[in-house]
Each structure stands twice: as structure tokens, then as C-alpha cells.
Amino acid sequence: MGLSEADALDVDRIRGDFPILEREFDGTPLVYLDNAATSQTPEQVIDCISDYYRTYNANVHRGLHQLSQEASIAYEDAHDRVAAFIGASGGRKEVVFTKNTTESMNTVAYAWGLAELGPGDEVVLTEMEHHAALVTWQQIAKKTGAEVKFVRVDDEGYLDMDHARELITDDTEMVSVVHVSNTLGTVNPVSELTDIAHDHDSLVFVDGAQSVPHMPVDVEAIDADFFAFSGHKMCGPTGVGVLYGKERLLDAMQPYLYGGMMIEKVGFEDSTWHELPWKFEAGTPVISEGIALAEACDYLDDIGMERVERHGEQLAAYAYDRLSEFEDIRILGPPGDDRAALVSFNLGTVHAHDVSEILNANGVAVRAGDHCTQPLHDKLGVTASARASFYIYNTREEVDELVEALDQARELFA
């Protein structure tokens, strides 16, 4: 897929916003290709965090003094900004700040799942789910007596949608699906899955950890009941995630974390809960992180999410083509022109950890392991894979450097 000159990112300008990209290791420039794990943070977001701590650091919703008022307003507004970024018209009432996607998943699993699931009920996942979903629903099923079923992944790395239609029945209470596979790069048809699930009165939870940073997302167009993602994968800070939920569902759910801030009235015998979203944000929340996440949304919107998506797709397609030149490299997942901004692969019989070490010696940072998808790797017949994942500041030249470094690994382990 090509980019028009008008749509192409000004990567040189963007790279100037990321001070860490200036690092060198023994004179070798950093080539950072581990963005699916954590993206880098631009100066604008770093300055936002610094400004909070330098000028209005205070706890929120607990003080009448000026600093607390300023912090509270910024924190509340951040919920609205994030809601707008993902197309949630309900604003802050539909956006809960958590620590990460995993905590968002657990919030729904415990606050909704424990109350609603029981023997005879089914939760449908896919074989490409991240452990954050797979392990969470697996354990909730054990506690409730529900059954977990998995939609098959075919040989090319796509979901078997005929199998999905077979598995999702009137007994299905929840369908939990990853929007973009963090191992295969597959972009799943979440809107189609949502239609199927809703035809059976099932709810849908979409794991958007790998989609929100890389493409325009509209949770209402998808019609997701719940949707989760993390700030640290989208130019934001670590320690903040987002749980979107339809207001009527969040309103009906009981919190599973208790303490300060999430209460309305407390007595010796009973307590009542604060309004949305605060009833799910017990204790001192992720104040600076949430405010900085809103700044990251501004940063990405200024670039344009359509441009972000095209750039990532182009780099993934180029990396796929370059790696496909070598017979000893096995690429996991769909063809290069039909995947999101990552490529997982294996080099012959060389373990992915050894490949990563050689790449690291050449300044190239990739992820190596099972990428929190052990069952998927087992299905694919590999114990681990190396993963190169791309973002707005990466270039074709960096893909070429990856390929050149792989030549050294090939020679070393020949």
C-alpha cells in the first residue's frame, strides 16, 4: 500500500519529538522496533507530566484548595478527551481509568463476570487472545462454573468466522476478542463478531491494546459493550489504561475495588457508591498519567490517525516483503498487505531469544518470546518468536537495518 505525498508522515519531524531515539550504544544508533510492547514518549507528553508535578500537583476530588481544584478539573477533562478519541459519546461516564488493559479486563471479569456467569453459561474467546483475556476469563470460569470456548485461527492467521458462528449461541454470555493480534498482526472483524454476539444477546469485550494506538477507533460504530486499551502503547505514560463501557452496563455493575473516592456515603452497616466513572476508581487514581494520556490523544490527533494507520501498514508490508526474501525465515500471520504494524518471525532453528541478542548487539530492539500468547504459539508449533513492531517514528531504513542484523545472526548460528 502506497502513501500519497500529502498523506505521508513527516517522520523526521516526528522523530525530533522523541529524545530517546537519539541514544546510541557503543556508537550504534538505537533502532526501536518494540512498539507493540511499549511505544516511546514524545516531549509534549513528558512536558505535560512535568507541568503537573511542577505547578498543580494535588489529589483530586478531596480538597477545596486551588491546587486540588485545578488537578480535579484536568483529571475529569482527561476522561472526556479520551472518550472523544475513541468515539464514546457518553463522555467521562463511559471511560474508567485503570492501570492498563489487563486491569480493565479484570474489572469487567470480576465486577460483571462473577455476578452474571454460572453453570451452563459460555464465554467465547479466540485462539489468538493475549493472556490478559485468556487467563482472566479462564479463572473466572473456574470460579463460576461457566465454560470457555475458543474460535479457531486458520493457517494464515485469520479467525475462522464459520466456527465463530457455530460457537456463539444463546448460551454465550460474553465474547471477548482481541481487535489486533499482538503476535500475528491480524486485524479481526470485530464489528461482524459484535453483530453475531448481539443476535444471541451476548455482550462483547474488545481488547484494543494494539488497535487504538495505530488506527482510528470508534467504539460506538463497532458497538462494543466494553473496550480496553493502554496509554503506554500510544505515546502516553505507563501506569494508565482505559476501560470503556456502555453507560447502562457500567451503571448496573457493582465495583470490585473498595475504598476512598469511589464511595458516596459510608455507614457502619452499609455504603453507597459514587457516580460513574469514579465508583470504579478506588483510592488515589492515576492523576498525572490520566492527564498525560489526554495529551497523547492530542498528539496523535494532530498527526492524524488515518496517517498513523497507513504508515504502520506500509512499514509492516515492507518488512514482510524483506523478510520473505529469505527461505529460512518463517513469518507468522497474514500476508504483508493485510496486517497491522508488526511482524513476528522465526529464523531457521535459532531460538528467538538468541536472535534478539544478536539484534540488540546491532542496536536493534525487538521483542522475543511468546508475547503473552503461549497457546497460540503452541498451536503454531513454535516455542517463541521474534517480533518487530513499528510506530510513527520508524522508517524503511530501520527495517533494512533489521534485515542486515539478521544476516549476522544467520552467519553466527550457521
Convert the pLDDT of each residue in 332-342 to its tens digit: 999 999 999 99
Give the three-state DSSP class for 101. helix
Contact status, residue 240 vs residue 99, Cβ threshold 8 Å: yes
- Give every CB contact of residue 273 below 8 A, 6+ residues apart in sequence: 254, 255, 262, 263, 264, 279
pLDDT of residue 5: 55
Domain assignment present for residue 41? The answer is no
Query: Would you call 120 exposed, middle or buried from its count of C-beta atoms within 10 A (0-12, 13-18, 19+)?
Result: exposed
In this predicted structure, the answer to whether residue 39 has a pLDDT above a threshold of 80 is: yes
Give the three-state DSSP class for 150. strand
Percent of the chain scoring above 70 in pLDDT: 98
Which band of pLDDT confidence, cut at 50, 70 and 90, is reported for residue 249? very high
Are both 28 and 105 inside the same structural domain? no
Are both 254 and 193 inside the same structural domain? yes
Which band of pLDDT confidence, cut at 50, 70 and 90, is reported for residue 378? very high
In this predicted structure, the answer to whether residue 8 has a pLDDT above a threshold of 90 is: no
Contact status, residue 332 vs residue 380, Cβ threshold 8 Å: yes
Return mean pLDDT, the chain: 97
Query: How large is the average pLDDT for residues 402-409?
Result: 96
The C-alpha angle 157, 103, 301, rounded to 5 degrees, equals 70
Q: Which residue is catalytic, options 48, 235, 297, 372?
A: 372
Long-range residue pairs from 148-153, CB within 8 A, at least 24 positions apart, any chain:
148/122, 148/123, 148/124, 149/122, 149/123, 149/124, 149/125, 150/124, 150/125, 150/126, 151/124, 151/125, 151/126, 151/127, 151/177, 152/127, 153/126, 153/127, 153/128, 153/184, 153/186, 153/376, 153/379
The alpha carbon dihedral of 176, 182, 183, 184 has a sign of positive
pLDDT tens digits, 261-312: 999 999 999 999 999 999 999 999 999 999 999 999 999 999 999 999 999 9
Would you call 372 a catalytic residue per the annotation? yes
Are both 22 and 93 inside the same structural domain? no
Domain assignment present for residue 346? The answer is yes
Q: In this structure, are strands 241-245 and 95-98 parallel, antiparallel, or unpaired?
A: antiparallel
* Residue-wise DSSP of 205-234: EEE-TTTTTTS---HHHHT-SEEEEEGGGT
Question: In which domain, by residue range, is 263 found?
Answer: 46-302
pLDDT tens digits, 210-238: 999 999 999 999 999 999 999 999 999 99
Look at residues 276, 302, 328 and tell me which one is the last residue of a structural domain: 302
Are both 186 and 261 inside the same structural domain? yes
Q: Where residue 394 sits, what CATH number does that domain have? A: 3.90.1150.10
Structural domain count, the chain = 2
Helix axes 287-303, 43-55, angle to 10 degrees: 150
In this predicted structure, the answer to whether residue 130 has a pLDDT above a threshold of 70 is: yes
Which band of pLDDT confidence, cut at 50, 70 and 90, is reported for residue 6? low
Are both 297 and 349 inside the same structural domain? no
End-to-end CA distance of the chain: 35
Look at residues 302, 323, 340 and tell me which one is the last residue of a structural domain: 302
Contact status, residue 101 vs residue 293, Cβ threshold 8 Å: no
Q: Which residues pair with 271 in a beta bridge?
A: 266
| Alpha carbon distances (Å) from 298 to 182, 210, 405 | 25, 18, 36
Contact status, residue 113 vs residue 256, Cβ threshold 8 Å: no
Look at residues 251, 280, 302 and tell me which one is the last residue of a structural domain: 302
Are both 329 and 405 inside the same structural domain? yes
Domain assignment present for residue 353? The answer is yes
Closest CA to 408 of 367, 343, 363: 363
Q: Where residue 128 sits, what CATH number does that domain have? A: 3.40.640.10
Residue 287 C-alpha cell reads as 492523576
Q: How far apart are CA 105 and CA 95, in angstroms?
A: 13
Count Cα atoms within 13 angstroms, Cβ side, for 333.
Answer: 27
Which band of pLDDT confidence, cut at 50, 70 and 90, is reported for residue 3? very low
Domain assignment present for residue 63? The answer is yes
Are both 78 and 208 inside the same structural domain? yes
Are both 231 and 266 inside the same structural domain? yes
